[in-house]
Structure 1
Amino acid sequence: MFRTGSADVEPYMRDILRAIAPVLNGIPNRISLSGHTDDFPYASGEKGYSNWELSADRANASRRELMVGGLDSGKVLRVVGMAATMRLSDRGPDDAVNRRISLLVLNKQAEQAILHENAESQNEPVSGPGKNLRLHHRSVFPQCHQPNRGDSVSMDISDFYQTFFDEADELLADMEQHLLVLQPEAPDAEQLNAIFRAAHSIKGGAGTFGFSVLQETTHLMENLLDEARRGEMQLNTDIINLFLETKDIMQEQLDAYKQSQEPDAASFDYICQALRQLALEAKGETPSAVTRLSVVAKSEPQDEQSRSQSPRRIILSRLKAGEVDLLEEELGHLTTLTDVVKGADSLSAILPGRHRRR
């Protein structure tokens, strides 16, 4: 939700906070926001800006995002910083998941307890030599209602992560079962729709939480599934096996995110390339039958090594409507394009030279 030492709300977390603001407006109760940090201390210790200030800033930054999302004025009763005093028990103290906020929906008793815990009516003057102190009356604490689990609803934002992880596990399991029984020659429409919906749900959740690798993988698979269910792509055993392999890699990516780790880059690149190749083949855009492809190179004679290392301009012509942007996007996934020139039915760009492995 936050980077180390930062109170800036991550973009995906902004979306969540703004999305739940209308939901909170529909609840009559007021709310309390708490900010938390990991246990990495500042160099100056607690004498200057510390985890106490940082956690309070995180809670207040989250409050502002709720307000942007339309949260009613006066809905927030309290914003507090807890530093690293309330770490998640099943995580290490330095785990990134501890950099979070907790949102508490207060019941009436809990709200009143907060309102009156420092009220003047609960204080009594105490005189002493040279002093005139005001202390909490002893009766405040036994009379003050202590909210318990049944009185208020705690919404630790980390719970949203776990909910997504659990749902994604179930969706991937369902996806696998449908793929295993899918008949490529005559696929059942309901099964295809179920597989597509599972991919669509996982992609949406992954995007919300900033899991970009899982989102991109699922996006590519979702597009192919959409073509299959609309009858634009004929399934076969190899395609279904590729979908099953994609599902396995998506599970590996999900498991990595559960451990606050980045998924394996090599398997991500491999499966994305395989899915993009399938997408091109499904549209009949194989290298031998796609569009007219010209490679413009220097006319001077070059040996094999220098040819493989020099940049080359490609020209794709006779493209159909919408294919210019599509091919630019697909090529951009595979390599870096420079000096891109797009026409109504053509695309031209310079590709970097290939570097020989040593």
Structure 2
Amino acid sequence: MSTATSSTPPLAKSLASTDKKTRDKAIKNLSVFLSDSTRDVISKPDMDKLWKGIFYCFWMSDKPLVQQALASELAEIVLTITTFPSSLFFLRGFWEATVREWNGIDRLRIDKYYMLVRRFVNATFRLLIRTEWDQTSCDEYNDILVKEGGPLCPTDIKVPASLAYHLADIYVEELDKVMGRADSHPLPAPLGTLIDPFIMFSARTPSSVTYDRINSALFEPLLSALSPPSSNDRPPSAKRIKLDTDPATFPHLLKNSCFKNPKLEGNIAGVELNKNLLRRVFEVASRPETRDSNRRKMYALWKEGIDDKDDDE
């Protein structure tokens, strides 16, 4: 019998224990267990059991400081696991468990799960920085987000809308935080790659409310931050006023971003990044699988961005 098979079920049971000391010990053992490069590969059913235990371990954390510490400790496991594929497998388990259990979270606990998601998003970006934003690694993570069981899968009816909303609210913000860490000197963040799951999700989501939320929470603020301030004398439109972004928004991304390949492209100016992202929106909007109602909105987003640039020139 493999080490993973024999160890995982008891550990999962301890993680979900009603006794705090048992849970605390299980969390320490979990980190050691997952960081052990000599153990056998964990099976998918065993990882699901682990995450069910982890999810309810966090469920029973009941004080703000305890919740914050536990959320950070769980997210840091992503970085203590010794291989990227194993870290990715752990992340897949996190997202699948979160999607599966999200609708059962009551209003008194939802804020701490929002925090847990934020911590995992932050840790994931730090993991991808370690790979030097390797395209294959980024694509593999994006696949977790957009395929069935992921939080940005547009065809999976089990995906809670509020989870996608929360991701849109925090995604670029957490990326900016990671890029500004004092102990990190990362290559430029490949915005085109990292934002692509949201573009794909927006193209195919059947909900106009969800599309509008992703657009207002992520695309509009990001594109506005990447746009140069208007230099002409004409009064800005009401929508342009609404989208004016504080110069301090995403300051680290504005200094250190590219579209796809950081080693080849280096840092790209915001206006050029803006054009590239809008071009990607147009490309995805043009695909036959894009929903007609979303296609019209994506074309409108592209056209507005292009028109704004023409006005500024």
TM-score bracket, shorter-length normalisation: under 0.3
- Report which structure shows greater RCO (CA 8 Å, sep ≥6): 2
TM-score by length of 2: 0.27
TM-score by length of 1: 0.24
- Whichever of the two has the greater Rg, that structure is 1
Structure (1/2) with the larger strand percentage: 1
